[in-house]
A and B are shown apart, each in its own frame.
Chain A
């Protein structure tokens, strides 16, 4: 029997507008409670004289900002944050490009190589960094051991000097290089996967057309592959910047900002100042310096992502 349209009122499943509002509510709540509230709190703290002993909000204006800007450690942290993020991400982009190109080719045991490449990404960052702590150990460093074995270190007249160890985390330059190395190790898998996706999204026809049009391998790379994967390279780069910029684990576990604050970054300085030092107000002020940079990167990511959709 055909009864025509149901006489009973439409159920909630038919109300697209209402359904949409219900489904977006958890996301809005999450942003408001877990991101919006702490962010506003951080701004208020940065304008107050709150400490961990007395967290009452007593607004004193911009004094905290004046204080931290006068602090040379803060300026080192700010500079280091940029240096670490930019240097490690530049290395990551170049290396992941090479890895991704290698992984595009067919060879035996490819699955094993892919698995190994992905491995650092699956390890918790703190555990991975603790592993690296041993690699950079002042006495038992395997890197130093290898250098000694091949005669580059520990012998009179050796290229890297006559001492037995390099003291990776004790020398300012080597400590910075160590932090960068761990960041690169950590983010290389993600960037490689992103670049692989980019490379495999280029239609084979295009590369073949370029070949028939007379392009050499170099020209194909410079004029076809790189321009076509530029949006996705940018996204990998910007994501990596955010990851490095906001990360405190690597520096905290490896050097605690040392030697003498030479590897201090904004995130570790926030922690040392605000939590360990108890000065919540100044800690909040330090962390707020990351905001304009991160907001800028986020806008870039969204823009690039939108441009990618069009092509």
Chain B
């Protein structure tokens, strides 16, 4: 169990800045997710915590000790790679035992710990197999077992679910969360999938172009995005943004619903919604269209739950309303959130 502190970390690759003055502290035992589009620097940040990459400037502190320029093996961290990086010439047993052997653990203790870790992930029967004989899900479990067997103080995961098929991914997500809870190891998890981030994270760090845009719990990130990047990156479909002079007004698609008697009061704003396209997705309908006068940003989406079954056709205009307290305001020039006083 440990705290990771990043102090003003920057990383340059030649002339490009991969990570730009990032400050971040983990809370002991938390599940921290680094979320961002590809190339945003999240993986570089993780690799610097692991010690595979050295920061160009700034410091990395683990458990109060400055480790910025120390090699990975001095840090007692574990990392699961996107490709799992299992040693192809070693059996599952030897793969899991590898981090123990480098630490000079004696044979009987190794056998005991490997079997315990393998049992935890239900791969006890695969110990004599080679990685190429395993399925994607089994490989992932081996990678996780190899990571936890050393009882690391920090657990780093680089998109470990991205190589699994969609069905497996959902169950793997649940397992991952349960086992992290059980071990209580501080975990840093990198992903570009916002559903994964929302579902797994105690806190989410939203990154773009090397910078941290927001750090917060999933509800904070979703309800009170710090800027327009977070607002449009998190949520599917993204937050609607419409221009109102110097301000951008934003609201989530599920808050933009057909107007009715209940919305005819001070608390709501009603717009004529010119519907251009409609998607039926089973549990919900996505309605695409424009609101207000013809200007640049007025294209919005409404997300209608299945229980609102009023007929809607493309090409027609309907009154739609959004609650005032669901609207966020952003500065048009900087993109920053203007509203204060989160509830």
Contacts and interface: CB of A to CB of B under 8 A. Distances in A.
Interface stretch (B77-85, B110-118, B287-295): B77-85
Interface string B33-57: 0000000000000010011100000
B89 interface: yes
20 contacts: A203-B85, A208-B47, A208-B52, A208-B85, A209-B79, A209-B85, A209-B87, A210-B87, A211-B52, A212-B50, A212-B51, A212-B72, A212-B77, A213-B99, A213-B146, A213-B150, A215-B98, A216-B102, A219-B102, A228-B89
A214 B89 contact: no
Contacts of A206: 85, 87-88
Contacts of B78: 212
A-B interface, 3 closest residue pairs, ranked by CB to CB distance from nearest:
A214-B102, A209-B85, A205-B85
Interface of B: 47, 50-52, 71-73, 77-79, 81-83, 85, 87-89, 98-99, 102-103, 132, 146, 150
Contacts of B88: 206, 228, 311
Contact of B83 (A205, A223, A311): A205
A212 B147 CA distance: 10
A230 to B, nearest CB: 8
B85 A215 contact: no
A215 B52 contact: no
Contacts of B103: 214
A228 B82 CA distance: 20
A228 to B, nearest CB: 6
Interface of A: 203, 205-206, 208-216, 219, 223-224, 227-228, 310-311
B104 to A, nearest CB: 9
A205 B103 CA distance: 20
A209 B89 CA distance: 14
A284 to B, nearest CB: 45
Given A206-B85, A213-B99, A311-B88, 18 more contacts: A205-B81, A205-B85, A208-B50, A209-B79, A209-B81, A209-B85, A211-B52, A211-B71, A211-B73, A212-B72, A212-B77, A212-B78, A213-B73, A215-B73, A216-B73, A219-B102, A228-B88, A310-B132
A215 B90 CA distance: 15
A42 B209 CA distance: 72
Contacts of A211: 51-52, 71-73
Contacts of B73: 211-216
B72, B77, B132, B150 pick with most chain A CB within 10 angstroms: B72
Nearest to A205: B85
Given A208-B52, A209-B79, A214 B85 contact: no
Contacts of A203: 83, 85
A271 B70 CA distance: 63
A205, A212, A214 pick with most chain B CB within 10 angstroms: A212
Nearest to A220: B102
B195 to A, nearest CB: 25
Contacts of A223: 98
A213 B77 CA distance: 8
B156 to A, nearest CB: 8
A212 B79 contact: yes
Contact of B72 (A214, A219, A227, A228): A214
B51 A227 contact: no
Nearest to A217: B71
A291 to B, nearest CB: 34
A227 B102 CA distance: 17
